[in-house]
Amino acid sequence: MTPTATPRPIRVSTVLAATLLLSACSGSGEDVRVTLCKDMVAVKLAVADPVNWTQATAGERSMQPSS
């Protein structure tokens, strides 16, 4: 049995389709942990309207010894 070669246009279109599908799954470029945190806050607040996130700040927290 002779192996049949896949025509080049089919291979090119398959690679193009796979690339488009994978790029569509990339989302907004936001870290998935941030997205998860935002979703958890929205569920905890139980609001009907979506939360409008304007900015995020990062900072260090110091551990306070418990007394």
Query: What are the per-10-residue average pLDDT scores of the chain (67 residues)?
Result: 71 81 65 83 79 74 71
Question: Which two three-digit tokens encode residue 65?
Answer: 């010894």
User: What pLDDT score was predicted for residue 12?
Assistant: 83
Question: Which two three-digit tokens encode residue 24?
Answer: 């569509």
User: What pLDDT score was predicted for residue 48?
Assistant: 72
Give the whole-angstrom CA distance, residue 51 versus residue 57: 17
Token pair 């979506």 is found at: 50
User: What pLDDT score was predicted for residue 24?
Assistant: 58
User: What pLDDT score was predicted for residue 8?
Assistant: 82
Question: Which two three-digit tokens encode residue 35?
Answer: 């997205």
User: What pLDDT score was predicted for residue 49?
Assistant: 76
